[in-house]
Amino acid sequence: MLQAIETTGQSGTSGGATPIRIRNLTLSFGTTKVLKGIDLDIGAGEFFAFLGPSGSGKSTLLRAIAGFGPRPSGEILLGERNVIGLQPWKRDVGMVFQSYALWPHMTVRQNVAYGLEERRRPAEEIRRRVREALELVGLDAYADRYPSQLSGGQQQRVALARTVVIEPKVLLLDEPLSNLDANLRVQMRQDLLALQRRLGITTIFVTHDQEEANTICDRIAVLSDGVVQQVGEPDHVYDQPANSFVARFLGTANILDGRVIVRDGACCFVLDERSSIPLQGTHGEGEASFVLRPRGLEFADGGAGEIAGTIPGTISGSEFLGDTIRYFVEIGDRSVLVDEVHRRGGDRRAAGTRVMLRVVPGQGVILAR
Ligand SMILES: Nc1ncnc2c1ncn2[C@@H]1O[C@H](COP(=O)(O)OP(=O)(O)OP(=O)(O)O)[C@@H](O)[C@H]1O
């Protein structure tokens, strides 16, 4: 019965925004553990993303919060209440899925009203709340249409209206934009952000699309193999990845293996016998990886011969990316990516050219290995 409704909230219980605390959450399908001791704190009113590759456990975690799937161990606190073991419809959460699953034989108005009718709200209240929900998603003029008379984006907005109309304390969105075409997704994510801000409702958004998470969410949790790899604001996680998985998953990264040494009190990253890079700040000595975005490296032009702190290399190819040109540079037996701003009419560096690279000051992260 919930298939088309996909909301598990109770009517008229919204109150203030609800924080979510997850403690040591573990969940298995049969003998396969897919959530492995998840700890998370999601603030009241926060727009939070679960981001990770396919199979990392994002949907399973979201569904566990909603009360679907096998019973996990650990705690899920919605406000002060541990909801583990509680039936989905008693949790006061609303969930929107990738497939909108609207009732095709019902108008937009009837679809949105359905959850309130099921909860036996008075007719006048239903009329008012449905009108408000449709205004919220900008579809009040479409109330008498059937789903087949709407675009994909409009249908998804009906699905959102149908969920928020029951005033859940927590809104769970499982890849809600992935059925839409690229342009509509960009538009819809802004609409979604505006809606979330207006409602002030604690919201979790599941996606494998880092751009989607980064553009609309306050904070993200990066998941891999049922484990939270890192939590933080999108720019922080991008700039300061906790490990090489996060660095690779959030954009393109050069991961250079070498070691940190301290010489005369100054830290230095030794790539090989020809290349060492001075480091800012203090780091422990030992095996390490230097994680650098392609924009974190630049060409040290103009110097004759090798310059201290630079890395000699040879360009092996390049790609035109619009605003930038991405160069493939061989350094020893490894290859790195270097992005250089494209200037109109500027010459492209040719394959085979010998170059010196340096780290842009302040760029890069050292990860112990
Ligand atoms: N009903 C199920 N029975 C058995 N295994 C399942 C079931 N649902 C999910 N899994 C497994 O649990 C793991 C996590 O799946 P989940 O759907 O949570 O990943 P996800 O990160 O949401 O991936 P996607 O982005 O592809 O939806 C996967 O290995 C998946 O095969």
List the structure tokens of 261. Answer: 């040494």
Nearest-atom number in ligand 1 for the CA of 61 is: 18
pLDDT of residue 100: 75
Residue 255 Cα distances to 203, 247, 309, 333, 334, angstroms: 34, 8, 18, 14, 10
Between CA 115 and CA 117 the distance in angstroms is 5
Q: What pLDDT sits at residue 61? A: 97
Phi, psi of 326 (to 5 degrees): -100, 120
Give the distance, in angstroms, between the CA of residue 88 and the centroid of all CA atoms in the same chain: 25
CA–CA separation, 46 vs 42, rounded Å? Answer: 7
- What is the reported pLDDT for 258? 93
Among protein residues, the one whose CA lies closest to atom 28 of ligand 1: 55
Complex-level ipTM? 0.96
For 140-190, how does the pLDDT look when each residue is reduced to its tens digit (9 = 90+)?
A: 999 999 999 998 888 988 998 999 898 899 999 998 888 778 887 888 888
Reading the block at residue 87, the tokens are 């039936």
Pocket-testing residue among 27, 28, 31, 59, ligand 1, by greatest number of atoms within 8 A of Cβ: 59
pTM of the model: 0.85
Encode pLDDT of 24-35 as tens digits: 999 999 999 999
How many other C-beta atoms are found inside a 10 Å radius of the C-beta of residue 139?
21
Q: Which of 58, 71, 172 to mutate to test the pocket of ligand 1 (most atoms within 8 A of CB)?
A: 58
In the reported structure, the alpha carbon of residue 29 is separated from the centroid of ligand 1 by a whole-number distance in angstroms of 9
Place of tokens 């095709």: 104
Å from CA of 142 to ligand 1 middle: 36
Atom of ligand 1 nearest to the CA of 226: 14
- Positions of the chain with pLDDT lower than 70, given as ranges: 1-15, 302-308
Using H for helix, E for strand and C for coil, what is the string for the chain? CCCCCCECCCCCCCCCCCCEEEEEEEEEECCEEEEEEEEEEECCCCEEEEECCCCCCHHHHHHHHHCCCCCCEEEEEECCEECCCCCHHHCCEEEECCCCCCCCCCCHHHHHHHHHHHCCCCHHHHHHHHHHHHHHCCCHHHCCCCHHHCCHHHHHHHHHHHHHCCCCCEEEEECCCCCCCHHHHHHHHHHHHHHHHHHCCEEEEEECCHHHHHHHCCEEEEEECCEEEEEECHHHHHHCCCCHHHHHHCCCCEEEEEEEEEECCEEEEEEECCEEEECCCCCCCEEEEEEECHHHEEECCCCCCCCCCCEEEEEEEEEECCCEEEEEEEECCEEEEEEEECCCCCCCCCCCCEEEEEECCCCCEEEEC
How confident is the model at residue 316, as a pLDDT? 97
What is the pLDDT, as a whole number, of residue 179?
77
Locate the ligand 1 atom nearest the alpha carbon of residue 223 and give its number. Answer: 21
What the block records as the tokens of 347 is 């010459």
pLDDT of residue 328: 98
Nearest Cα to Cα of residue 290 among 314, 267, 313: 267
Domains present along the chain, CATH in parentheses: 20-244 (3.40.50.300), 273-368 (2.40.50.140)
